[in-house]
A and B are shown apart, each in its own frame.
Chain A
């Protein structure tokens, strides 16, 4: 650029300024309105959309599908598509370092690449076309970022569509535009049409991809945010994983009724000895790693167990607030709503939380339990070696009712086939009452079914 051009540019700018406006108040007024608008928008977003809850980081949970912040999604998708290209796709650093590096380099050096002094759109159609296709590509790649490149049935069609949209069309358009600009010397109009048609083709392929895309199976993880929720989550996890050996209140000193650990002496984990001397993080480590010498298996996913870091934290929180006398527990809602006189309990409202807390730790797949599983309504009624006698509608001699009332079931030879349940501590009387009423009234599943056979509230005078 020679001095003459520079002088012309500066003179032109002076002319524009002379018929322009003042920074204060003309320009700054719009700036302030814009900023205020953004501020209000942020308050609305924070209030009405908020921030989705997400479970705590768990380095052992390698099954988690990583997702970057949304403005990096297009780059992620680009890497995935690039990996599909035969041969070249195997050289990872071309896509991770070279292409983004060159792109940023070109972006930064644009003033030194496009050196002419033209500013009007029609005179710089090549740069505008390149940038337009780039921006359209970025937006479309972001839109398809949730779509996998290989369908569940192994079909690669969906990946090919995306690769055509994200790599093939832009590349072809770029080559064509360069040829038109430098070799064919095409008109501005032709180049605009080339850009528009390429962009439309990319949009069409994106549409096809989204139409073929499988339903998103993205599930929101449940996160206990309040202390009460965390304690309850911890109690449920404790009931399933720990109560079998340690008892539902952590007081067991000699393990009973557990295959392989019968008669093992352990320290009651609700004792001050344990709670005062073991810190939260040490507690988490004991749960994660187990005590191999004492027979306690590892529970952390890192060591082959089932629990994530967050879940083990909930268990620790539950133990602290329920048993450690230095902690004051918040008000915990009841396990199930208390029953009125004559009211019939239902599985959904009453039995399910009880069974989850007191029974499932043993009565689930992979445990010693006479094949009696209790994780769902159907399982409770239909599984088990003694399914025919476990639950008989209206029969007080149903095996289930006998064993929770501490009567063993014996066969014709006097051998015990089912011991008392739960093996360590008897259930509280109100819980036994729920079981009894439920079986005597024919085991309703939903609250509506139970309400139908319950006597109307008017018939039972309030106490």
Chain B
């Protein structure tokens, strides 16, 4: 029976093609340094999953955000673990993405034919930092509130567009319920959407060109 199911699926999906194109690809010799890209993606998926669990209890309003986070930590079974992973995952993701970028730079893997992969990668680094910045406000504690106040103030010092940027980020002249609402929206919908799309393009380009080999003296 399992054979029948497998054959039926194989006719429609084509497992052999998938295997040949996705898994059975030849690669140059790679090292542990080449695992940082996939580790970044793993962290993205992990942050996505834990983040989805957190939204079950989190409430993005100044009256309830802090208490809902307290409840996740104290009241929800394993809430502390989910939030702990999300909290430390954010730190680790920034670190891993940054080291990944350094690895690509020092081995000059960004050169022909992988220039576009690098450009997308810089987009990924910036969106990851954007995730960190927007996520930092969500617990609505003192640290979050004042760091975001100063952070958005810095955006406000940019000539010409500064004041507009500040108001657009805060949803008004001051940090308020609107700021929390739009940071939440940016944190769970807008930026992850961009991030996922960029990861898709990044992966496609990597599969197209293969992983670069470690540079030797004649490279």
Identify the A interface with B (CB < 8 A).
1, 5-6, 9-10, 12-13, 16-24, 26-28, 30-31, 33-35, 38-39, 41-43, 45-47, 49-51, 54-59, 61, 64-72, 79, 92-93, 96-97, 104, 107-108, 110-112, 114, 117-122, 124, 127-128, 131, 135, 221, 225-226, 281
Contacts and interface: CB of A to CB of B under 8 A. Distances in A.
8 contacts: A9-B112, A20-B26, A23-B27, A27-B27, A38-B39, A93-B158, A107-B122, A111-B115
B66 interface: yes
B38 to A, nearest CB: 4
Given A93-B159, A108-B122, A30 B30 contact: yes
A119 B113 CA distance: 13
B119 interface: yes
A9 B111 CA distance: 10
Contacts of B89: 42
B218 to A, nearest CB: 7
Interface of B: 19, 22-30, 32, 34-36, 38-39, 42-43, 46, 62-63, 66, 70, 73-74, 80-81, 83-85, 87-89, 91-92, 94-96, 98, 102, 105-115, 118-119, 122, 126, 129, 132-133, 136, 139-147, 149-151, 154, 157-159, 162, 174-175, 210-213, 215-219
| B-side interface mostly | helix
A1 B115 CA distance: 13
Nearest to B174: A59
B122 to A, nearest CB: 4
B147 A69 contact: yes
Interface centre among A1, A38, A39, A127, by most chain B C-beta atoms within 10 angstroms, is: A38
Given A30-B32, A34-B35, A59 B175 contact: yes
A108 B153 CA distance: 25
Given A27-B30, A58-B145, A64-B142, A120 B88 contact: no
Contacts, number: 223
B30 A21 contact: yes
A6 B80 contact: no
Given A93-B162, A108-B122, A281 B80 contact: no
Given A46-B81, A128-B106, 6 more contacts: A13-B213, A17-B26, A26-B30, A71-B95, A96-B157, A107-B122
Nearest to B143: A54
Contacts of A26: 27, 30
A114 B162 CA distance: 32
Nearest to A18: B26
B112 A1 contact: yes
A122 B157 CA distance: 41
A120 B217 contact: yes
Contacts of B215: 119-121
Contact of B74 (A24, A65, A124, A226): A226
A232 B219 CA distance: 69
Given A20-B29, A111-B115, A119-B111, A57 B210 contact: no
A68 to B, nearest CB: 5
B154 A79 contact: yes
A54 B142 contact: yes
A122 to B, nearest CB: 8
A6 to B, nearest CB: 6
